[in-house]
Amino acid sequence: MYVLLVEDDDLIRTCLAEVMTEAGFEVVGAPDAESALELAGAVRPPRVVVSDVNLGPGMDGFALAAAARRRWPTVPVLLMSGVDANFAGRHCGATERFLSKPFSSNAFLRSIAALTGKPEVRPA
């Protein structure tokens, strides 16, 4: 399953990519939304987009989610943040989940499984 991972923190992006790769995902990572959309345009549509909310200058995770849905209307999006206020007043649709940092590998993979309908996803 192809996952587009967007996280501006190199260490977190590497760790999350490792968790997903060990669970059987094909992961393409990017440090910002603009790079992610460019990378994803060169590859087939992702099965799921996983993004931090705060991505530094440029688009944030919410803008990326909107751009991803315009490009791939059925793509589910998992948004993550260490700042709970980022989720205040936000409503999750059927194809969107919010995950507060810090989280366990199991919680992370369960969130992806819930979005993709693949409950068998678990760490290796």
User: Which CATH number does the domain housing residue 11 bear?
Assistant: 3.40.50.2300
Residue 31 pLDDT exceeds 80: yes
The mean pLDDT value of the chain amounts to 86
Q: CA 18, CA 25: separation in Å to the nearest integer?
A: 9
Domain that includes residue 99, residue range: 2-116
Asked whether residue 123 is assigned to any structural domain, the reply reads no
Asked whether residue 121 is assigned to any structural domain, the reply reads no
pTM (2 d.p.)? 0.88
Tens of pLDDT along 50-88? 999 999 888 999 899 999 988 889 999 999 988 776 666
Ramachandran quadrant class, 5 (left: phi over 0; alpha: psi -120 to 50; beta: rest): beta
Tell me how many domains the chain contains: 1
Q: Which of 57, 56, 43, 61 is nearest to 2 (CA)?
A: 43
